[in-house]
Amino acid sequence: MRILVTGTAGFIGAETAIALARQGHVVAGVDHLDDYYDVRLKQARWARAAAEDVQQQRLDIADAAALQALFADFKPERVVHLAAQPGVRYSIEHPQAYVQSNLVGFANVLEACRRHHIGHLVYASSSSVYGGNRKLPFAESDAVDHPVSLYAATKKSNELLAHSYSHLYQLPVTGLRFFTVYGPWGRPAMAVWLFSSAMLDGRPIALFNRGEMRRDFTYVDDVVSGVLRVLEAVPVADPGFDTLHPDPGRSWAPYRVFNIGNHRPVALRDFVAALEDAFGVRAILEEQPMQPGDVEATFADVDRLRLVTGFAPATPLAEGLRRWAVWYRGWRESAS
């Protein structure tokens, strides 16, 4: 198939585009290549995808005309939308970046998919939509009406926008709520990168909430496998949808939302201990209070995704961090 992937200079976007190209699809990739973090890392990911015959184009999805022109030229049959302004804490100080990319940009993607009759749009949502929810594990049937960060609010908004287009135009749409993805080629603002950098530099690691926060760390290869499986599972309208007791993850429209996580939450203290084993270095710990926009725990119920696609995360944390440590040492040396 002809598949368009947005965000191909990003962490998950690059790996997804590469995996699709290796499957034999004709893949086009777009990215803005902004300077939210080290552009050299983005350019390296971009080059890796290009080496796998991904047709790369620099483009801002907030530019509606340019995006429509790309769709008209490439004529995709499927779209995997992974471009977004990421980060919870960054959204507190830079709200406009989130409005442009996550709201305006996503609306442009939906409109292009509608106009060009895309057979299936898969897009990135986030576990952050669960916000202040305390029931664990998080399930797609849970209400997600209390975001605690602007980033989370934009991702919840994406789900609402997607549903409206699915309902109005019968556009098959699937949202994926990612849970703390880690692995080689990850983002510098992620905990695994920040912790690794501090450990190798001999600096203290800031453990927010005294290290008692728990995260459902999910290895990137498992996530990409899930994305590819979902892309093949095109949603259909559910005529039996109960409008008296609506399920947020389902609809009478061809619309679905799935969690995609490891289903094994890990306390940050234990995560640091596993990272110490991977690097063979002891960490200096500095306990700090909770930060604005953070939540105490994330924990994915992935039963629905497993039922529909057979998804099953296969990478133990120790193995994932071992692979991460090998890559990070190499990247750190090459970038110094």
- What are the catalytic residues? 151
**pLDDT tens digit string along 56-68?**
999 999 999 999 9
The token duo for 175 is 């949202």
Write out the DSSP string of 60-84: -TT-HHHHHHHHHHH--SEEEE---
pLDDT at position 163 is 98
The CATH classification number of 2-179+219-261+299-314 equals 3.40.50.720
Task: Classify burial at 324, counting beta carbons within 10 Å of its beta carbon; exposed 0-12, middle 13-18, buried 19 or more.
Answer: buried
Q: What is the mean pLDDT of residues 125-151?
A: 92
For residue 176, is pLDDT > 90?
A: yes
Please answer whether residues 13 and 83 qualify as being in contact, where contact means their C-beta atoms are separated by less than 8 angstroms.
yes
Parallel, antiparallel or unpaired: strands 218-219 and 181-182: parallel
Task: Name which of 73-77, 228-232, 287-291 the model is least confident about.
Answer: 287-291
For residue 284, is pLDDT > 70?
A: yes
Report residue 74's pLDDT band, with 50, 70 and 90 as the boundaries: very high
For residue 147, is pLDDT > 80?
A: yes
**Which stretches does DSSP call E strand in 127-254?**
173-178, 181-182, 204-208, 214-215, 218-219
Parallel, antiparallel or unpaired: strands 266-267 and 181-182: unpaired
What percent of the chain is modeled with pLDDT above 90?
82
For residue 91, is pLDDT > 80?
A: no
pTM: 0.94
At residue 74, what is the residue type? F
Q: What is the mean pLDDT of residues 116-120?
A: 98
The token duo for 157 is 């908004």
Q: What is the residue-averaged pLDDT of the chain?
A: 94
Q: Which residues of 82-118 are buried (b: 16+ CB within 10 A; e: fewer)?
A: bbbbbbbebbeeeeebbbebbbbbbbbbbbbbbebeb
pLDDT at position 64 is 97
Report residue 212's pLDDT band, with 50, 70 and 90 as the boundaries: confident
Report residue 248's pLDDT band, with 50, 70 and 90 as the boundaries: very high
Residues forming beta bridges with residue 168, ordered by sequence position? none
**pLDDT tens digit string along 33-51?**
988 889 999 999 999 999 9
Residue found under tokens 């120790």: 318
Structure-model confidence comparison of residues 185 and 34, the more confident one? 185
pLDDT at position 211 is 67
The token duo for 225 is 């496998």
**Closest among 309, 73, 62, 48 to 185, alpha carbons compared:** 48
**Closest among 267, 284, 310 to 199, alpha carbons compared:** 284
- Angle in degrees, CA 135, 136, 142, rounded to 5: 60
pLDDT at position 224 is 98
Q: What is the mean pLDDT of residues 293-312?
A: 89
User: Strand, helix or coil at 142?
Assistant: coil
For residue 159, is pLDDT > 80?
A: yes
Residue found under tokens 């929810």: 133
How crowded is residue 227: how many other Cβ atoms within 10 Å of its Cβ?
A: 26
For residue 293, is pLDDT > 70?
A: no
For residue 132, is pLDDT > 90?
A: no
pLDDT at position 35 is 86
**Which stretches does DSSP call E strand in the chain?**
2-6, 26-31, 55-58, 78-81, 120-126, 173-178, 181-182, 204-208, 214-215, 218-219, 255-260, 266-267, 284-288
